[in-house]
Amino acid sequence: MSDREFTGADDLSLPKATVQKIITEILQPSPGVTFAKDARDLLIDCCVEFITLISSEANEIAEKEAKKTIATEHIDKALRELGFPEYVQEVLTSAGEHKEALKTREKKTNKMDQSGLSEAELLRQQEELFKSATEKYNQGPT
């Protein structure tokens, strides 16, 4: 798959506020120096192109390996094959940090867990509701 196969490339973008925040955090505040909006927009276009290039190459690598999911190792190989080996270590470090953050992230609780009732009690209540609904349905219109 070529990175040029995307017909709606104009639809692809990154949030301007997020990119601006990254720019602000990376650049040291200097009096009288600003980052022009058109420069920010150009940077966004470059980022989208870079992401498209890397993901397309990683997709080709995954397809050659008969994989249906692009994994971290495919990104690693894509970066190396496209001539960006200097990014690999930082990308792998970030991926590891993200994976660890996901492990420690607070798990969402579902309604069953929040109810405080046992599964057997919830099942009994459900059966009662079904029985009640069936009786109302069989009574017909009132």
- Compare 26 and 50 and report the one with higher pLDDT: 50
The length of the chain is: 142
H/E element holding 119?
A: helix 119-139
pLDDT score for 117: 86
Distance CA 77, CA 5 (A): 21
Helix (H, G, I), strand (E, B) or coil at 138: helix
Q: What is the mean predicted confidence (pLDDT) over 81-89?
A: 96
Model confidence at 53: pLDDT above 90: yes
Geometric angle at alpha carbon 125, from 124 and 130, rounded to 5°: 95
Question: 3-state secondary structure string, 41-78?
Answer: HHHHHHHHHHHHHHHHHHHHHHHHCCCCCCCHHHHHHH
**CA dist., res. 121 & res. 127, Å (int):** 10
User: pLDDT per residue over 90-119, tens digit each?
Assistant: 999 999 999 888 888 766 667 777 778 888
Round to whole Å and give the CA distance between 36 and 59.
Answer: 34
Q: What is the mean pLDDT of residues 124-137?
A: 92
Report whether pLDDT(77) > 90: yes
Q: How many helices (H) and strands (E) does the chain have?
A: 6, 0
